[in-house]
Amino acid sequence: MIRFFLLLSLLVNLGGLFTASGQILKDDAAKQLSAQALDKIYNFQFAEAKNLIAQLEKKYASHPVLPFFRAYLLSWERFPLDKNSPAFSQYDLYMQDAVKKAKILLEKGDEFFTLEGNFFLTMCYGLLALHEAESGDFMQSVGYGKKSYHYMKKGFGLEERYPDMHFATGLYRYYAVQYPETHPIAKPFMAFFPDGNKTRGLWHLARASSIAQFSHTEAKIYLLVIYAKYEQNFLQMVSYTQQLVSRYPQNPFFWVKHCEALAFVGRFAEAELYLAQFQGRTENLYRSARNFILGVVQEKYYKSDDKAAQFYQNVVNAGKYDKRYTIDYFAFAYAGLARIADRRGQIESAKKYYKEAQKITEYESLKAEIEAYLKKKGQ
């Protein structure tokens, strides 16, 4: 259930950051600095981003934008940020400072300050909920998630006035339907929330990706995930990953997603070529992605089951998967091992691997592949 709360609370979204700002909305220079800082963060130009944030501090030293920006920068600088890492303590201090300053905005009573405070409390509590969930503290995470939704819902219906709100509205409308479909245990809780609509949700997200001032990048990130996992439209995924790597060529995570997308649509030579864009990264996320993509390339492009199996095995031998970023590589690696086992006539092994993938995947295309195989084999 907590994953749904996180999606409601915009997760790592910066969309709407300044859309309803009382002070910054009227300050064109500050808005330009903020947009530039965001671009630098997404492009992994952290020193430049810090300089821009320091310029903002000269005028908005007591504003929640500063600690929130610093937390967001740190989350990308140490991406993926682990709660058990030393950097997380500093990250948490930034977030708590942003919460405190956002509540001060609410106390002013002015409409713009109230809207602005709601935005920052939405995002801060959502991010805190995310990290509590990933560390296994479910109750603490649910508490933060509920707080985040409390503030977020006050922004519904403001899309025409503030285009960045298309992002929040789109996320809610889509996942209010998708999440309980993927996690049936959540269905009883949905009685307490407004109805969703996946078609309208995709429309709002697409609008955000094209006209939002600050959330266009986050909208593209969520759209590529949605089209890959749930809509089974990998061509759309490629269109968004191509936009991301074109605008932010120094972001290795965006290259990971682009290589995945290329592999999904059968552009294997390109997927293999662009692995070089994150070849030097040693974090488990990048190792798992590299092994998965090389496995797919070897299996489907070079037709080498032996080499493919080795790469897939490297993924599943890496230890416990990370529910944020590597769980999908485990699922696809198990599926790859299943296909190879089937071609080798090892039917029981194939079924075992497919069942392991079935336990953890949210990809509708992979679910269909697994179900078709197990049905064919009498399972």
What's the pLDDT score for residue 147? 78
- Reply yes or no on whether the pLDDT at 292 is more than 90: yes
Identify the CATH number of the domain defined by range 253-376.
1.25.40.10
- Domains of the chain, by residue range, sit at 2-229, 253-376
- Give the model confidence (pLDDT) of 120-169 as tens digits: 787 787 777 766 766 656 567 667 767 777 776 666 666 666 677 788 77
- Give the model confidence (pLDDT) of 83-132 as tens digits: 788 898 999 899 999 999 989 888 887 766 777 777 778 778 777 776 67
Give the mean pLDDT of the chain. 85
**Which 3-state string (H, E, C) describes the chain?**
CHHHHHHHCCCCCCCCCCCCCCCHHHCHHHHHHHHHHHHHHHCCCHHHHHHHHHHHHCCCCCCCHHHHHHHHHHHHHCCCCCCCCHHHHHHHHHHHHHHHHHHHHHHCCCHHHHHHHHHHHHHHHHHHHHHHHHHCCHHHHHHHHHHHHHHHHHHCCCCCCCCCHHHHHHHHHHHHHHHHHHCHHHHHHHHHCCCCCHHHHHHHHHHHHHHCCCCHHHHHHHHHHHHHHCCCCHHHHHHHHHHHHHHCCCCHHHHHHHHHHHHHCCCHHHHHHHHHHHCCCCCHHHHHHHHHHHHHHHHHCCCCHHHHHHHHHHHHCCCCCCCCCCHHHHHHHHHHHHHHHHHCCCHHHHHHHHHHHHHHCCCHHHHHHHHHHHHHCCC
- Give the model confidence (pLDDT) of 37-81 as tens digits: 999 999 999 999 999 999 999 888 888 889 989 998 999 999 888
277 or 84: whose pLDDT is higher? 277
- Reply yes or no on whether the pLDDT at 343 is more than 70: yes
What's the pLDDT score for residue 321? 78
